[in-house]
Amino acid sequence: MRPPVLALRLSLRAPRATSRGGLRPAALGVVVFTAAACLHAAQGVRVVDSVSVGQDGDETAHHMAGVDTTTGESAGRTWRSATGWFSYSLRIYDDSPLTIVCVLADGETAGEAFDVLVDGVRTARVTREAGKTKGATVEVKLALEDTEGKTSVVVKLAALPGSRTARLLELRTVQEHLE
């Protein structure tokens, strides 16, 4: 038996010129989703919590701590980096696997090497070569057994000896959550 199919007409419309010189919308088409896909989109993967780095209120609310940190700006956004470490506490759901998303700014000419720790346990080691440190997104995935029963985690970026962390712009916790 096939799953039920829902057809939704897009509400987005491309403008067309009218005879009076105005613009009139034109329909773009029909998109077909299965009911399961619609349910997944409604209940699917979500950003549970996020920190906008360098925003005093946001960093305070997320219990920012650190040693030997510095901040700066890149493309109008504030970043934080460290030759030591820095951390934030973020909310999570207690019933699904977790993805930590680190949004990184362009780096320095020197390379960057650091560990990502979640609740004191190293979950990833990130190394970015000198001269190849364009902005990037790093995702660290944790299994349910690593976070089951928890409603928050402390995410720490710790520079390796003689190096520094990347320039972090934003930190997010992302999970699938069924309500």
> Could you tell me the pTM of the whole model?
0.73
Q: For 90-135, how does the pLDDT look when each residue is reduced to its tens digit (9 = 90+)?
A: 999 988 999 999 998 886 667 789 999 999 999 999 988 776 667 7
Mean pLDDT of the chain: 78
**Are residues 36 and 113 both part of a single domain?**
no
Q: Are both 145 and 161 inside the same structural domain? A: yes
**107 and 128 belong to one structural domain:** yes
What pLDDT, on a 0 to 100 scale, did the predictor assign at position 83?
95
The stretch 160-175 carries a mean pLDDT of: 93
- Over range 55-80, report the average pLDDT: 91
Question: How much of the chain, in percent, has pLDDT values that exceed 70?
Answer: 70
Q: Report the pLDDT averaged over residues 134-158.
A: 91
**Which helix (H) or strand (E) is 92 found in, with range?**
none
Domain of 165 in residue numbering reads as 46-176
Nearest by Cα to 85 from 163, 153, 147, 171: 163
Distance CA 22, CA 45 (A): 41
Together in a domain, 78 and 104: yes
User: Based on the domain organization, do 162 and 101 belong to the same domain?
Assistant: yes
Q: Are 176 and 93 in contact, with CB atoms under 8 Å apart?
A: no
Q: Which of 93, 100, 99 is nearest to 149 (CA)?
A: 93
Per 3-state DSSP, the chain is made up of helix, strand and coil in percentages (nearest 5) of 10, 55, 35
pLDDT at 32 over 70: no
Q: Are residues 75 and 157 in the same domain?
A: yes
Q: Are residues 70 and 55 in the same domain?
A: yes
> Are 29 and 85 members of one domain?
no
| CA distances for 150 relative to 82, 90, 94, 96, 119, angstroms | 27, 11, 5, 10, 11
Q: Are residues 116 and 65 in the same domain?
A: yes
| pLDDT at position 45 | 75
Total domains present in the chain = 2
Q: Are residues 74 and 24 in the same domain?
A: no
Pair 159, 130 in one domain: yes
The region, left, alpha or beta by phi > 0 then psi within -120 to 50, assigned to residue 37 is: alpha
**Residue 76: is its pLDDT beyond 70?**
yes
pLDDT beyond 70 at 8? no
